[in-house]
């Protein structure tokens, strides 16, 4: 990553001198960071397939390997074309790390808000699971437990990603040391692990871990080689975690398929390859625009009679199963299943455009834009998410974060009029007016 250091401007001049060129490992990190900022969606899309899906398909000689490559190619066509087009209108700022620091340094209450959000997320998630919300029993029965505590806890369902984003913003803004940042991230991950034990569902835990890895890499708080080691550790721990999860399910009276092993569940190539045998697009009366607004904007407390949405159960029933189980083709496979090849290209092109704007619009992102970026990576662009349910979750999480954004906006330090928070642009001109969206 670029280190964000620059020499002082010469007296009487309005421009900053370029930073000293990094050497050795610093140059490699700078190059990796620049690549991540230029193609964040494409890399976030490609990484899990390169590390998890395609190796299993090749080793096991999956006959659908070519189809999987075609799916990935269509998605990359949408994301990479938009990201490349964005480069024509300006590459990421070479002083991006410095701009990121300055953009987040003007929020003196940022770390306090980040801690409150992270703690609220942990308490709300555990309280909701204690009341039965999000458990395997509730998922199979298709019901939502009637509990005031659970209803209140659901209002903070996206605050894990929000807390992560604000903690990262606190770190890059100089409010939080790296060691304490890692401590908070460990606490958030441990809470997700406890939540997995309480609900007997491991998917949210793995989704959170991969989200943290992707968002952390884009923001420059993790090195890629450490992330690769982390993926290998997850592979080694998975059999033990799988057996433990099944023992919890059996203790709660949930039948566990004896023929499905931990190794079988790692065959993600078979999961996404299964969609190749269907004529697409398929209409299963999945959520439409009005459903996105109803479920995404209106809290369940104001609409208690609406049924829960589970696209996984709809797909499983379409495949000949029952509503007491769920199945998906992973996010990319689901998009192909419901939208067809054109839909895959359009989906990733649209979200790539959103991410490009969040990362580059009027300079480096502040806490609000970092939070929106994390919501995008945690919901619609998470490779293991369920489409289109994740799009509804994205709307829910943005709505729930609005009060936090308002608090940050009210407590920020106002910059000097006519001067951007990330310093002068070419020829000493300000990059943007004061008061730009954080």
Q: How far is CA 273 from CA 43, 64, 68, 379, 429, in A?
A: 21, 6, 6, 22, 53
| 252-289 burial: b if 16+ Cβ within 10 Å, else e | eebeeeeeeeeeeebbbbebbbbbbeeeeebeeebbee
Measured between alpha carbons, how far is 414 from 280 in angstroms, rounded to an integer?
52
pLDDT of residue 84: 94
Q: Is the peptide bond before 388 cis (omega within 30 degrees of 0)?
A: yes
Residue 175 CB coordination number (10 Å):
21
**First-last CA distance in the chain:** 22
| Cα 428 from Cα 13, distance rounded (Å) | 8
Q: Which are the contacts of 280, defined by CB distance < 8 A and separation ≥ 6?
A: 336, 337, 338, 339, 340, 341
Buried b (16+ CB within 10 A) or exposed e, 104-127: bbbbeebbebbbbbbbbbbebbeb
Tokens 């054109």 belong to residue: 342
Spatial contact of 95 and 1, defined as CB atoms under 8 Å apart: no
pLDDT higher for 119 or 94? Answer: 119
CB atoms closer than 10 angstroms to residue 48? 21
Residue 180 dihedral angles phi and psi, to the nearest 5°? -70, -35
The neighbouring-strand residues paired with 424 are: 430
Alpha-carbon torsion (55, 61, 66, 70), positive or negative: negative
pLDDT for 430 equals 41
Task: Give me the pLDDT at residue 270, please.
Answer: 94
Q: Quick: pLDDT tens for 267-276.
A: 899 999 999 9
- 3-class SS at 42? helix
Taking Cα atoms as reference points, which of 279, 292, 344, 352 lies closest to residue 318?
A: 279
Chain mean pLDDT for the chain:
83
Indicate the pLDDT class of residue 396, thresholds 50, 70 and 90.
very high
3-state DSSP assignment of residue 155: coil
Pairwise CA distance, residues 178 & 75, whole Å: 34
Q: How far apart are CA 272 and CA 59, in angstroms?
A: 16
- Give residue 182's pLDDT: 94
pLDDT at 290 over 80: yes
388-424 in b/e form (b: 16+ CB < 10 A) is bbbbbbbbbbbebbeebbebbeeebeebeeeebbbbb
Taking only the tens place, the pLDDT of each residue in 235-255 is: 788 888 888 888 887 777 777
> How many degrees, rounded to 5, is the angle at CA 40 between CA 192 and CA 66?
90
> By the 8 A CB rule, do 358 and 165 touch?
no
Residues 282, 260: Cα–Cα separation, whole Å: 28
pLDDT for residue 337: 97
Out of 167-171, 201-205, 230-234, give the one with best mean pLDDT.
167-171
More confident residue, 308 or 253: 308
Q: For the ranges 119-128, 169-178, 285-294, 382-391, which has the lowest average pLDDT? A: 285-294
Specify the pLDDT at position 322: 74
User: Would you state the pLDDT for residue 433?
Assistant: 39
Contact 392, 190 (CB under 8 A): no
- What digits encode the pLDDT tens for the residues 211-221? 999 999 888 88
Tokens matching residue 115:
């801690």
pLDDT computed for residue 42 by the predictor? 96
């Amino acid at each position: 990553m670029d280190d964000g250091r620059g020499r002082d401007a010469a007296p009487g001049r309005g421009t900053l001198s370029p930073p000293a060129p990094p050497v050795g490992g610093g140059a490699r990190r700078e190059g990796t960071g620049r690549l991540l900022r230029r193609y964040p969606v494409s890399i976030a899309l490609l990484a899990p397939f390169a590390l998890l899906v395609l190796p299993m398909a090749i080793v096991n000689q999956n006959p659908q390997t070519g189809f999987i490559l075609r799916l990935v190619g269509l998605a990359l066509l949408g994301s990479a074309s938009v990201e490349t087009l964005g480069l024509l209108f300006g590459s990421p700022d070479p002083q991006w790390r410095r701009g990121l620091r300055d953009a987040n340094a003007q929020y003196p209450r940022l770390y306090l808000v980040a801690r409150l959000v992270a703690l609220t997320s942990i308490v709300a998630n555990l309280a909701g699971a204690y009341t039965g919300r999000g458990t395997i029993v509730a998922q199979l029965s298709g019901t939502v437990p009637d509990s005031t505590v659970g209803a209140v806890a659901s209002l903070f369902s996206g605050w894990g990603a929000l807390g992560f984003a604000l903690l990262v913003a606190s770190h890059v803004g100089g409010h939080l040391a790296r060691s304490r940042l890692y401590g908070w991230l460990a606490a958030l991950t441990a809470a997700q692990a406890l939540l997995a034990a309480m609900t007997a569902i491991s998917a949210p835990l793995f989704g959170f871990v991969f989200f943290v890895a992707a968002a952390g890499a884009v923001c420059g708080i993790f090195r890629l080689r450490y992330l690769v080691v982390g993926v290998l550790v997850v592979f080694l721990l998975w059999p033990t975690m799988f057996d433990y999860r099944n023992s919890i399910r059996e203790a709660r009276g949930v039948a566990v398929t004896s023929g499905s092993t931990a190794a079988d569940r790692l065959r993600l190539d078979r999961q996404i390859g299964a969609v190749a045998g269907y004529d697409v697009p398929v209409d299963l009366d999945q959520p439409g625009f009005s459903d996105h607004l109803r479920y995404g904007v209106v809290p369940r407390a104001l609409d208690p009679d609406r049924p829960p949405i589970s696209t996984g159960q709809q797909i499983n029933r379409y495949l000949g199963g029952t509503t007491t189980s769920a199945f998906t083709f992973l996010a990319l496979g689901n998009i192909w299943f419901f939208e067809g090849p054109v839909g895959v290209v359009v989906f990733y092109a649209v979200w790539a455009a959103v991410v490009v704007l969040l990362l580059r619009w009027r300079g480096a992102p502040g806490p609000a834009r970092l939070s929106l970026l994390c919501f995008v990576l945690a919901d619609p662009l998470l490779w293991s998410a369920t489409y289109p349910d994740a799009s509804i979750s994205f709307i829910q999480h943005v709505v729930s974060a609005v009060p936090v954004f308002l608090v940050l906006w009210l407590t920020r330090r106002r910059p000097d009029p006519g001067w951007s928070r990330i310093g002068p642009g070419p020829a000493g001109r300000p990059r943007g007016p004061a008061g730009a969206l954080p």
